[in-house]
Amino acid sequence: MRQIFLDTETTGLSADNGDRIIEIGCVEMLHRKLTGNNRHFYVNPGRDSHEEALKVHGITSDFLKDKPTFAKVAQDLLDYLNDAHLVIHNAPFDLGFLNMELALIKQPPLKTVVASITDTLVMAKEMFPGKRNSLDALCVRLEVDNSGRTLHGALLDAELLADMYINLTRGQNPLLMDEGPVIDANGDRISALDLSQFVLPVIRANEQELAAHEDVLRQIDKSSKAKTIWRTADQKMPQSVA
């Protein structure tokens, strides 16, 4: 699966009230491995950032004055995101700005370009209800090093998001999955192991072990006053007819 972790920085908090995108950062992951095939754009928004927003990202209008407009980078961005599984923290915010910018250049919304969109904020709220689930808070909770994050930056935040996502979803994949070819230390491809070649031995309990097991069940049954589920289930099962 090709996943793109995306973050934006903006001139303010409201796309509906004229705020614009000033930075886009994208990090690519293929089969849960970072590829290094990332994208990073600074964008001239044609307006100043709000004072509070400037304190967050530190990207000045003077720095952005010679950067391309969103219209100039849009096709490169769309080609890069095409058919990818997009992962964003607090997706409605970034999508609201991206879709607004696309609408201004007569392009359809981003959902028509990507394969899917995952919001890690929604995931985090389900896993950690009642706790702070900002990117910084999750990095601390999931042991992702964010010590270099003094100001917000789209590419850095996308990189942190990718690391955080890996830790957030660790253990949620099936044991048998297609991770692509396995490569050894010499760069040679290792053939997949066919597990069907193996016959696993079945070690059955002996009489002494069965008796000990039955004794434990009997003690539990006695403590519960004969209300254990396995005894009740045995009584309800129909007897076979000889």
**Which amino acid, one-letter code, is at 122?**
V
DSSP lists the bridge partners of residue 4 as 28, 86
Would you state the structure tokens that stand for residue 201, as one six-digit string? 């031995």
The alpha carbon torsion through 128, 130, 135, 140 (nearest 10 deg) reads -70
The one catalytic residue in 31, 50, 152, 213 is: 152
Q: What is the phi/psi pair of residue 42, to 5°?
A: -95, 140
Nearest C-alpha neighbor of 81 from the set 41, 33, 121, 43: 41
Residue 207 per-residue DSSP state: H
Alpha carbon 175 to its chain centroid, in Å, reads 18
For the four alpha carbons of 174, 176, 178 and 179, in that order, the dihedral sign comes to: positive
**Which amino acid, one-letter code, is at 135?**
L
DSSP string spanning 173-218?
Answer: S-SS-----EE-TTSPEEPPP-GGG---------HHHHHHHHHHHH
Instruction: Specify whether 152 is catalytic.
Output: yes
Rounded to an integer, what distance in angstroms lies between the CA atom of residue 23 and that of residue 9?
A: 5
Catalytic residues: 152
